[in-house]
Structure 1
Amino acid sequence: MLTDGIRFLSKNVAYHFSRNLELYSVWRRRLHQAHIFGRVKGKLRTMKIDTPEFRGLFTPELNKLIDLFKKHDYELRIAGGAVRDLLMGKQPHDVDFATTATPNQMKEMFELEGIRTINNKGESHGTITARINDKENFEVTTLRIDVRTDGRHAEVQFTKDWELDANRRDLTINAMYLGLDGTLYDYFQGQEDLLERKVRFVGDPASRIQEDYIRILRYFRFYGRIAKTPNDHEEKTLHAIQENGAGLAGISGERIWLEFKKIVCGNFAGNLIKIMHDVGITQYIGLPEKPNVEEFEEVYNRAHHLDPQPMTYMSALLSKEEEVYQLNKRLKVSNDELKLGAFILQYRGVSMGDNPIRHCQHLFIDNPGKDVKVRALVTELVKYLGDQELVREFSQWSPPPFPVSGYDLVGLGVRKGPRFAKLIHELRQLWKQSDFKMTKEELLEHVDDILK
């Protein structure tokens, strides 16, 4: 294999060196980092697939895209996660494409053929989005290498070498390509790792992580998607994560939350969170110094079948409501997620008594906001507690309309202000305690007593 590797290098040295010295140097360094002469070997493996999922991709719009690239003599292949999904017998939700054409060449080609391009914010990194027949969008990215990285961003340089592009990717299972004729192109044993349900970095884990520290979280996310057992991690991978975990401190909260929410909802989340804490990275993603890992595992085990929201799971790692707001400073969660976390921390320890459905109904009435959002808060709390029957029962309950309106109180001469709001609240409490049976007339009889 060493001889094969030397022949591979020799055949390509003159071409790359003559075209671009910097590109050649980067290429040599990346090949070394990827252990071309070790486990990975950099040896192309190919095979053909022909599955219903693969055939299902070929819409008239995709066929038109393929014909355009063929006509202009540019290579086009499916890349990344869609290849992984197809090999696992899954229909991809999103399909990304890679090509030997540069962004300018793609734009010229699409303009010549009357194809509109949209949302070209990723053009500096090689991505052009074409809209075919005003019906379907296709994201196509030029093959590239990362010339410089700082752990968050990369300066890229375009190439026509598929192996170089594969070599810059994070995990072997994400570094495969699929030709539109069904040919799989696999340089780093991605298919073998996928069959064995192994999650491995392309080459040296530390080098891949240092190029973009978010890859630490991507590793755990894909472990939850791919692995068959909870603790089948390679020691060198966990060591690299532990040594480089502090790099997550420089990653934006939005990017961290995007990955982390998929980890907490994925397989083996309890084990993965424990490992993440053990290797010392939870402190860099907004969690307290001592997250409640045991509570998280309990909630995950009892609620996973109920499909809770990510923030429902995250709440289990927190001990008090203030920690939700500290978490938000780091992760920049949505307002609804923030409210959900605070709601669960406030009510998870409150006993539901002998009538849990009545307790849920009262929570619904007592918390202001749009009905659909308040219902979601209460439902997620019940999921947190793992009560499937109560989730079903509460989902079937339709809250009756509160019979008293503001106009009724104004008609009685009550002016709007603090007393007005207090009156509405007290009347709602009376109505709630009556099991929502008191009429408007009965409630209004209590106005004078409340205002005394």
Structure 2
Amino acid sequence: MWSRVLRAVGVSGGLARGLFTMQLKTVEFESLFTDGLKTVAELFSKNKYELRIAGGAVRDLLSGKQPDDVDFATTATPDRMKELFQAAGIRLINNKGEKHGTITARVNNQNFEITTLRVDVVTDGRHADVQFTTDWQADAQRRDLTINAMFLDLDGTLYDYFDGYEDLKNHKVRFVGDPSQRIQEDYLRIMRYFRFYGKVAKEAGDHDPKALKSIKQYAKGLAGISGERIWLELKKTLVGNHAAHLINLMYDLDVAQYIGLPVIEGNLEELNKVCKNAHHHSPKPMTVLSALFRTQDDVLRLDLRLKISKEEKQLGLFIVKYRRDLIKADGADPLKPYRDFIIDSREPDVQSRVCELLKYQGEEKLLKAMEQWSIPRFPVSGHDLRRIGIVSGKEIGTMLQELRNTWKKSGYLMDKEELLSMVKSP
């Protein structure tokens, strides 16, 4: 439930200042108030420091969603936060982000990541030197997108300086202030624009023209961003809404060449088809992205740029290799080629990869059956053959393969006795 409180207008830092506040009272918001949060809130309030929910959690709460993670912002400096927590006997953990203003405290088996308000003093497109502040608008102004630049007080008051709430309601994705300036501060914001467009926008193609112009102008800046950071954003884009549209847009705006995607030979037609096939089946990011690749070398080149995981690399190589060769056969059991492949394969986690392949191919019914299928165990071993007098290793190998083929033809139904009855004793 919302109630409107005020709107004040002014000008600060070259950006139109339009502080908009509303009162939030929802089940999702109230559920955040664990004993741990109450303890932290009381500590900050008692010491006269402001503490507000920041970033993505605000966006989720305004959308009626329960946040997965909740980050906080405060007017207290990192040193002061450490003093407060230590005096209260609260354990501090993982404080690698302290130089950027972030302190993590553990209260009642719950982690609280709290960051001091800050402004960027110097930026180089990858990193920023920051200075701490107590100005909430100044902190909001340094953030990337309007929908990520809002704060929510623990009394339920929304603080929105750049029309983020309006943009969220209207499913718009806009940079805070001048897109060119925001992008030059951190070129990764180009990838974040695509990711959040897939998360927020209702329609493909409903972009802010200024944002697209700036992305195209500064796309080359992504060449200096680490592959790991780019891949984190790209993965979320691939499994969000409008994935095909957004990947096509990356090509149109000259982004693709700087993030490891095939520049000339990218198969966008295949990508469009796979996105349509797989979207409703929760595909893995690499399942979708594999559609762009014409050869396995494209997967290897992507790995060189983005440093994808071994599992992601193997999935990409698997799909590119088998998407044409491993297809359903005509007949009463269209799943049989996939089952036989799994039975014969020595690759780890092969059933999971076959499921991703079926998503890629748009085989909805086969996917459901495959997900429910338990891999049967071939019932005959070399030891069983030795017991009936076959001792030659070569002969055992040949016989096991013949029995395996017979077992597969039976639909994996023949048991050990039935199979061994077909073997002629020496």
TM-score by length of 1: 0.85
CA 1:332 to 1:426, structure 2 compared with 1: closer, same or farther past 3 Å?
farther
Which amino acid in the other structure matches residue 144 of structure 2? D
Deviations 1:16-53 (A, max 9, x none): xxxxxxxxxxxxxxx23xxx2xxxx1232222111111
Residue 288 (structure 1) aligned with residue 288 (structure 2): no
Residue 365 (structure 1) aligned with residue 343 (structure 2): yes
Match of 2:31 in 1: 56
Match of 2:145 in 1: 171
Distance 2:351 2:154 in 1: 47
Match of 1:14 in 2: none
Q: Say which SS state the counterpart of residue 84 (structure 2) adopts.
A: helix
1:399: how far off? Answer: 2.2
Distance 2:84 2:124 in 1: 34
Give runs of aligned pairs for residues 294-333 of structure 1, distance below 5 A. Answer: 294-333=269-308
Match of 2:113 among 122, 139, 146: 139
Structure 2, gaps ≥5 residues long: 1-8
1:156: how far off? Answer: 1.2
1:197: how far off? Answer: 1.3
Match of 1:261 in 2: 235
CA 1:126 to 1:301, structure 2 compared with 1: closer, same or farther past 3 Å?
same
> Is the contact made by 1:306 and 1:386 (CA closer than 8 Å) also made in structure 2?
no
Which amino acid in the other structure matches residue 374 of structure 2? S
1:226: how far off? Answer: 0.9
Residue 100 (structure 1) aligned with residue 78 (structure 2): no
Distance 1:422 1:336 in 2: 33
Match of 1:233 in 2: 207
Match of 1:124 in 2: 99
Match of 1:249 in 2: 223
Distance 1:419 1:217 in 2: 58
Distance 1:172 1:419 in 2: 71
1:421: how far off? Answer: 7.8
Which amino acid in the other structure matches residue 305 of structure 1? H
CA 1:429 to 1:447, structure 2 compared with 1: closer, same or farther past 3 Å?
farther
> Is the contact made by 1:423 and 1:447 (CA closer than 8 Å) also made in structure 2?
no
CA 1:443 to 1:217, structure 2 compared with 1: closer, same or farther past 3 Å?
farther
Give runs of aligned pairs for residues 333-412 of structure 1, distance below 5 A. Answer: 333-350=308-325, 351-354=327-330, 355-370=333-348, 373-405=349-381, 407-408=383-384
CA 1:404 to 1:175, structure 2 compared with 1: closer, same or farther past 3 Å?
same
CA 1:145 to 1:356, structure 2 compared with 1: closer, same or farther past 3 Å?
same
Which amino acid in the other structure matches residue 132 of structure 1? V
Match of 2:183 in 1: 209
Q: Counting helix residues as a fraction of each chain, which structure ranks higher?
A: 1
User: How many residues are matched?
Assistant: 411
Deviations 1:119-161 (A, max 9, x none): 111111111111112x111100001111111211111111111
Identity of aligned residues (%): 55
Q: Say which SS state the counterpart of residue 256 (structure 1) adopts.
A: helix
Which amino acid in the other structure matches residue 170 of structure 2? E
Give runs of aligned pairs for residues 20-99 of structure 1, distance below 5 A. Answer: 31-32=13-14, 36=15, 41-99=16-74
Distance 1:246 1:423 in 2: 60
Q: Counting strand residues as a fraction of each chain, which structure ranks higher?
A: 2
Distance 1:428 1:321 in 2: 31
1:366: how far off? Answer: 2.3
1:404: how far off? Answer: 3.2
Distance 2:48 2:398 in 1: 74
CA 1:87 to 1:348, structure 2 compared with 1: closer, same or farther past 3 Å?
same
Q: Say which SS state the counterpart of residue 89 (structure 2) adopts.
A: coil
TM-score by length of 2: 0.90
| RMSD over equivalenced CA pairs, Å | 2.4
1:443: how far off? Answer: 6.2
Structure 1, gaps ≥5 residues long: 10-30
CA 1:158 to 1:390, structure 2 compared with 1: closer, same or farther past 3 Å?
same
1:70: how far off? Answer: 0.7
Give runs of aligned pairs for residues 407-426 of structure 1, distance below 5 A. Answer: 407-408=383-384, 413=391
Deviations 1:187-225 (A, max 9, x none): 111111112211100111111111111110100111111
1:185: how far off? Answer: 0.8
CA 1:145 to 1:268, structure 2 compared with 1: closer, same or farther past 3 Å?
same
1:59: how far off? Answer: 1.0
Distance 1:401 1:50 in 2: 56
Match of 1:24 in 2: none
Which amino acid in the other structure matches residue 123 of structure 2? T
Match of 1:151 among 104, 121, 125: 125
> Is the contact made by 1:431 and 1:443 (CA closer than 8 Å) also made in structure 2?
no
Q: Say which SS state the counterpart of residue 368 (structure 1) adopts.
A: coil
1:186: how far off? Answer: 1.0
Q: Say which SS state the counterpart of residue 384 (structure 1) adopts.
A: helix
1:85: how far off? Answer: 1.0
> Is the contact made by 1:216 and 1:245 (CA closer than 8 Å) also made in structure 2?
yes
Q: Say which SS state the counterpart of residue 314 (structure 1) adopts.
A: helix
Distance 1:400 1:205 in 2: 57
Q: Say which SS state the counterpart of residue 39 (structure 2) adopts.
A: helix
Which amino acid in the other structure matches residue 402 of structure 1? F
Match of 1:198 in 2: 172
> Is the contact made by 1:430 and 1:443 (CA closer than 8 Å) also made in structure 2?
no
1:91: how far off? Answer: 1.2
> Is the contact made by 1:126 and 1:158 (CA closer than 8 Å) also made in structure 2?
yes
